[in-house]
Structure 1
Amino acid sequence: MNTNRLSTIMETALSNQMNKEIHASHIFLSYGIWADDKGYQGIANFLYRHSQEERNHSIKFMEYILNRGGKPKVEAIPAPPNDPDSLTACFDGVFKHEVDNTTAIYKIVDLSLEEKDWATWNFMQWFVQEQIEEETLAQNLIDKLKIAGGDRATDESLFTLDKTLSETPNEVPLAQEATGYNP
C-alpha cells in the first residue's frame, strides 16, 4: 500500500527546499570562517549559529517529507560563494540569501494552495513566519554595520559590533524539538 500523501511535484519541491537549507548552512558556515579569519570572532560565532539553524531547517523538511510518507532526496550541494571582500558584502550576502529563501518558501506555499494540500500549507506557515524573522535579522545586521560606519567604520565601532554579536544567545533550537506550542 502506498502511504505517500505528497504529490510527486510537492515531494520534489520540499526535497529541493531541504537541499536549499543545507546550502544556506554551508554559505553561512563559509561566511563565519571568513569572519573568524579576519578576527571577528563575535560575528563568526553569530554566523556559525545561523549555519546550524539553517541545517535544523533542512532536518525539519526531511522529517516532514518522511512523516507524510515521502522520501527526501539529498542532492549535491553547490559550493558557497567566494569569500566576501568586506563586512558590508558579507551582511548583504546574508540578506540576499534570506530574501531568495523567502521566495522559494512562498512558491511551496503557492503550490500547496494550488494542490489543496492543507497539511503542507500548515507546515509551511512556520517557515513563512521564520523568514520574516530571518529577513529582519539580516536587515538589522546591515543597519548595525551602517550605524558603526559601514566599510569605513573605526576599529572601535567594529569591535563593539563584534562584541554585541558575540553576546547574542548561543542556543539554536533543534528542529526535532519543535512543537505546535514551541515551533
Structure 2
Amino acid sequence: MDTNRLSAAMQSALISQMTKELHASQIYLSYGIWADTQGYGGIANLLFRHSGEERDHMIKIMEYILQRGGRPVVEAIPAPPQDPVNITECFNKVFQHEVDNTTAIYKLVDLSFEEKDWATWNFAQWFVKEQIEEEKLALDLIDKVKIAGGDRASDESLFSLDEALGKMSDSETLAREATSEKP
C-alpha cells in the first residue's frame, strides 16, 4: 500500500526547496568565511548563524516529507557564488538571494493550492512568514551599510557596524522547534 500523501510533483517541489535551502546555507557560510577573512568577525558570526538557520529550514522540509510518507532525497548543490568585493555587495547579494527564495516558496504555495494539498499549503505558510523576516533582515543590513557610508564608509564606521552586527540577538527559534501552535 502506498502511504505517501504527497503527489509526485509536490514531493519533487519540496525536494527542490530542500536543496535550495541547503544551497542557501552554503552561500551564507561562504560569505561568512569571506567576511571573516576581511576582518569582519561580527558580520561573519551573523552570516555563520544564518547559515545554520538555512540548514534548519532544509531539515524542516525533510522532516515534513517524511511525516507525509514521502522519501526526501539529498541532491547535489552548486558551488556558492564568487565572494563579494565589499560589504555593500555582500548584503545586496544576500537580499537578492532571499528574494529568489521567496519566489520559490510562492511556487510551492501555488502548487499546494492547485493540488488542494491543504496540509502542504498550511506547512508552507511558515516559510511565507519566514521569508518576510528574511527579506526584512537583508534590507536592514543594506540600510545599515548605507548609514555607515556605503562603499565609501570609513574604517571606523565599518568597525562599529561589524561590532553591532556581531552583538545581534541569537535568540531566534530554530525552525525544527516550530510547531503549528508556535510557528
State TM-score, norm by structure 1: 0.98
Counterpart residue type for residue 27 of structure 1: I
Give CA deviations for 1:37-65 in whole Å, capped at 9, x if unaligned.
Answer: 00000000000000000000000000000
Partner amino acid, structure 1, of 2:54: E
Instruction: Please tell me whether the aligned partners of residues 49 and 172 of structure 1 are also in contact (alpha carbons under 8 angstroms).
Output: no
Question: In structure 2, how many angstroms separate the alpha carbons of the residues matched to 1:109 and 1:122?
Answer: 9
Instruction: Give the Cα separation in 1 of the matches to 2:47 and 2:90.
Output: 10
Aligned equivalents of 1:118, 1:71: Cα separation in 2 = 19
Cα distance in 1 for partners of 2:169, 2:67 equals: 31
- State the alpha-carbon separation in 2 of the partners of residues 23 and 173 from structure 1: 21
Q: Secondary structure at the match of 1:6?
A: coil
Tell me the equivalent position of 2:2.
2
Figure out how many residues of one structure are paired with residues of the other and give that number.
Answer: 183
Structure 1 residue ranges (4+ consecutive) displaced by more than 2 angstroms after TM superposition: 170-176
Deviations 1:58-86 (A, max 9, x none): 00000000000000111111000011111
Determine the C-alpha separation between the residues in 2 that align with 1:175 and 1:8.
25
1:122-164 superposed Cα distances (whole Å, 9 cap, x missing partner): 0000000000000000001000000100010011110111011
The C-alpha deviation readout for 1:87-143, integer Å capped at 9, x for no partner, is: 111001100000000000000000000000000000000000000000000001000
Q: Which residue number corresponds to residue 23 of structure 2? A: 23
Equivalents in 2 of 1:76, 1:38: separation in Å? 29
5+ residue gaps, structure 1, are none
Counterpart amino acid of 1:63?
A: E
Q: What is the deviation of 1:179? A: 1.5
Q: Matches of residues 65-84 of structure 1 in structure 2 within 5 Å?
A: 65-84=65-84
Q: Do the aligned residues in 1 keep the contact of 2:43 with 2:165 (CA within 8 Å)?
A: yes
Report the residue type matching 1:153 in the other structure. A
Distance 2:83 2:33 in 1: 9
The match for 1:56 is 56
Q: Which amino acid aligns with 1:71?
A: R
The structural deviation recorded for 1:174 is 3.0
Percent of residue pairs bearing the same amino acid type: 70
Following the alignment from structure 1 to structure 2, what is the Cα–Cα distance between the partners of residues 175 and 144? 26
Counterpart-to-counterpart distance in 1, 2:170 and 2:176: 18
Instruction: Give distance in 2, aligned partners of 1:62 and 1:29.
Output: 20
Deviation of 1:172 after TM superposition, in Å, equals: 4.5
Corresponding residue number in structure 2 for 1:97: 97
Give the residue type in structure 1 aligned to 2:67: N
Task: Look up the equivalent residue of 2:169 and give its one-letter code.
Answer: P
